[in-house]
Amino acid sequence: MLTAVCLTACSSPAEQANVEQEGNLLERIQQKGEMTVGLEGDWAPWSYHDTATNELVGFDTEVAQKIGEKLGVKVNVVEAPWESLFAGLDSERYDMVVNGVDITEERSQKYDFSEPYAYNHTVLIVRNDNEDIKSFDDLKDKNTVNSIGSTYMELAEQFGAKTTGVSTLNDTLQNVIDKRADATLNAEVSYLDYLSEHPDAPVKIAATYDDATKVAIPTRKGNPEFTEAVSNAIKEMKESGELKSLSEKYFKSDITEE
C-alpha cells in the first residue's frame, strides 16, 4: 500500500495528467469541447456531398451532429474510405465511426457498440437480364463485388460466392452493369436511393435477406462512459422523434424501428 502511495505521490505532473487523460474519453471530449467522427462521405443517403452545394449531408452526417449537440460538443467529421474507418478508430484518429455499421459478433469482440439507431435489410442485386440468380443460395460459385470488409462481402462468402472488394456502392453496381460481376449485396435503402438518381440503370433486386441487421455506432473498448452517453443521445432522439424524422428525410421511410 505504501509503495502504491509513493508511486502516485512521486509521479510527475505530466505523468499524472497522462493517466487522467487516458481515464475517461467522455470527460476529455467534453473538456476539449469537440469530438471527431469518421464516415465515408460517399454512400448516399447515409453520408454524401450535395451535388448543388458540395455540402456534406446525409442521415449519418446529421445523426453525428445531433449526438454532438446532445453531448454539448462540436463535431469534426473526417471522411475516409470504408476499408480504413476501423483503422482510424483503432489509432484514435476518430472517437467513433458513424457509417451505417452493422453489429456483428466479430466486431463486437473488438469494439463496443451504442444503442442501435437503424435497421438494415440486405438485398441481392443483379442485372435486369440475369435469370440465373433468384435467391441467395444461387450465389454459390458466382462472382460478386462488394465493399471491402463489409458485412455484405461476408454474407456473399457465406453463400459460397467468389468476392471482389471495391470502395463505393456506385463501383459495385457499375461492375454488375458492365458484367464484370454477377451480383452485389447492399442495403435496400441505399440501392433505392441509387435508383432514384439512376432510374434507367439496368439492375434489379433478385432477393431480400430475411433478417434485418442492427446499425449502431462502434467505439473503442474501455470507454463505457462515452459509449453510454452516445446511447443516451440516441435514445433521446428516438423518444423526441428526431431520429424518425431524419430517417424519413433521407430514406423516405422509417428505418429506426426493427
- Indicate whether 12 pLDDT > 50: no
CATH 3.30.590.10 corresponds to the domain 122-211: no
More confident residue, 5 or 63: 63
Count CA within 13 A, CB hemisphere, residue 74. Answer: 5
How many other CB atoms are found less than 10 A from the CB of residue 125? 25
- Indicate whether 257 pLDDT > 50: yes
> CA-CA distance, 185 to 16, in Å (whole number)?
50
pTM attached to this predicted model: 0.79
pLDDT in the model for residue 52: 96
* Domain 34-119+214-251, CATH class in plain words: alpha beta
Q: Report the alpha-carbon angle 200-246-64, nearest 5.
A: 110
Annotated domain spans of the chain: 34-119+214-251, 122-211
Mean pLDDT of the chain: 91
Going by pLDDT thresholds of 50, 70 and 90, the confidence category of residue 23 is low
Question: Could you check whether 34-119+214-251 and 122-211 share the same CATH topology?
Answer: yes
> CA-CA distance, 46 to 119, in Å (whole number)?
13
- Indicate whether 196 pLDDT > 90: no
CB 159 within 8 A of CB 140: yes
> CA-CA distance, 97 to 37, in Å (whole number)?
6
